Chain A
Amino acid sequence: MAGLTLDLIALQLFTGVALGAVYVLLAIGLSLIFGMLTVVNFAHGAFYMLGAYAGLFLMTQGVNFWVCLLLVPLLVGGIGLAVERVLIRPLYGRGIDYPLLLTFGLSYVIVELVRIGFGKTGYPVDTPELLQGAVDIGVGYFPLYRLFVIGATAVILFGLWLFLERTSFGLIIRAGARDPEIIRVLGVNVRRVWLVVFGLGTGIAALAGLLAAPLQGVIPEMGGPVLAEAFVVTVVGGMGSLLGAVLAGLLVGIVVSITSLFAPEMAKVSIFALMAVVLLVRPQGFFGRAGLMS
Chain B
Amino acid sequence: MNQASQATLARARDANLDWRELATRYRVLLVSAFLLAFPLVMPFTALAINILIYGLYALGFNLLFGYLGLLSFGHAALLGAGAYFCGIAIVHFGMPWFAAIAIGVLGGVITAAAIGALATRTRGIYFAMVTLALSQCVYYLFYQAVDWTGGENGLRGINVREIGIFGISFDFINPMTRYYVVAGFVILALIVLSRILASPFGAVIEAVRENEERARASGYNVTLVRLITFILSGAFCGLAGALYALQLSTVPIEIMHYETSGLAVMMCLLGGMGTFFGPFVGAAVFLMLENLVSLWTVHWQLIVGAVFMICVLFFPRGIWGTLTMRGKS
Q: Chain B contact residues: over half helix, strand or loop, or mixed?
A: helix
CB–CB B129/A235 < 8 A: yes
Which chain A residue has the least Cβ–Cβ distance from B269?
A101
User: Could you say which residues of chain B place their CB within 8 Å of the CB of A91?
Assistant: 312-313
Which chain B residue has the least Cβ–Cβ distance from A228?
B136
Interface residues on A, range: 35 or more
In the assembled complex, B141 has its CB within 8 A of some CB on chain A: yes
Measured CB to CB, the closest approach of chain B to A50, in angstroms, equals: 14
Question: Complex formed: what's the CA distance from A107 to B304 in Å?
Answer: 11
In the assembled complex, A102 has its CB within 8 A of some CB on chain B: yes
Measured CB to CB, the closest approach of chain A to B308, in angstroms, equals: 4
User: Could you say which residues of chain B place their CB within 8 Å of the CB of A42?
Assistant: 73
Q: Which of B123, B129, B313: most chain A Cβ within 10 A?
A: B129
Task: Out of B128, B132, B305, B311, name the residue touching A106 (CB < 8 Å).
Answer: B305
Per-residue CB proximity of B273-310 to A under 8 Å, as 1/0? 00000000000000000000000000101101110110
CB–CB A116/B299 < 8 A: yes
In the assembled complex, B316 has its CB within 8 A of some CB on chain A: yes
CB–CB B140/A268 < 8 A: yes
In the assembled complex, A234 has its CB within 8 A of some CB on chain B: yes
CB–CB A279/B301 < 8 A: no
Measured CB to CB, the closest approach of chain A to B7, in angstroms, equals: 36
User: Could you say which residues of chain B place their CB within 8 Å of the CB of A90?
Assistant: 313
CB–CB A275/B269 < 8 A: no
Measured CB to CB, the closest approach of chain A to B258, in angstroms, equals: 5
In the assembled complex, A162 has its CB within 8 A of some CB on chain B: no
Task: Out of A38, A108, A227, A276, name the residue touching B118 (CB < 8 Å).
Answer: A276
Measured CB to CB, the closest approach of chain A to B43, in angstroms, equals: 26
Question: Complex formed: what's the CA distance from A105 to B248 in Å?
Answer: 27
User: Could you say which residues of chain A place their CB within 8 Å of the CB of B122?
Assistant: 235, 279, 283
Which chain B residue has the least Cβ–Cβ distance from A38?
B125
Task: Out of B140, B301, B308, name the residue touching A112 (CB < 8 Å).
Answer: B301
Question: Complex formed: what's the CA distance from A291 to B84 in Å?
Answer: 44
B interface residues, how many (CB within 8 angstroms): 38
In the assembled complex, B167 has its CB within 8 A of some CB on chain A: no
CB–CB A239/B305 < 8 A: no
Question: Complex formed: what's the CA distance from A273 to B259 in Å?
Answer: 22
CB–CB B302/A113 < 8 A: yes
Question: Complex formed: what's the CA distance from A209 to B56 in Å?
Answer: 37
Known: A96-B124, A268-B140. A105 touches B312 (CB 8 A): yes
Task: Out of A227, A265, A276, name the residue touching B144 (CB < 8 Å).
Answer: A265
Task: Out of A38, A104, A109, A231, name the residue touching B262 (CB < 8 Å).
Answer: A104
In the assembled complex, A98 has its CB within 8 A of some CB on chain B: yes
CB–CB A104/B265 < 8 A: yes
In the assembled complex, B68 has its CB within 8 A of some CB on chain A: no
User: Could you say which residues of chain B place their CB within 8 Å of the CB of A235?
Assistant: 122, 126, 129-130, 133
In the assembled complex, A94 has its CB within 8 A of some CB on chain B: yes
In the assembled complex, B71 has its CB within 8 A of some CB on chain A: yes
Question: Complex formed: what's the CA distance from A34 to B126 in Å?
Answer: 11
Instruction: Name 22 interchain pairs, CB-CB below 8 A, sorted by A.
Output: A34-B125, A40-B129, A42-B73, A96-B124, A100-B71, A101-B71, A105-B266, A108-B302, A108-B305, A109-B302, A111-B301, A112-B299, A113-B302, A224-B259, A228-B133, A232-B133, A235-B129, A235-B133, A239-B125, A269-B144, A275-B130, A279-B121
Which residues of A does B touch, CB under 8 Å? Answer: 34, 38, 40, 42, 87, 90-91, 94, 96-98, 100-102, 104-109, 111-113, 115-116, 224-225, 227-229, 231-232, 234-235, 239, 265, 268-269, 271-273, 275-276, 279-280, 283
Which residues of B does A touch, CB under 8 Å? Answer: 71, 73, 118, 121-126, 128-130, 132-134, 136-137, 140-141, 144, 258-259, 262, 265-266, 269, 299, 301-302, 304-306, 308-309, 311-313, 316
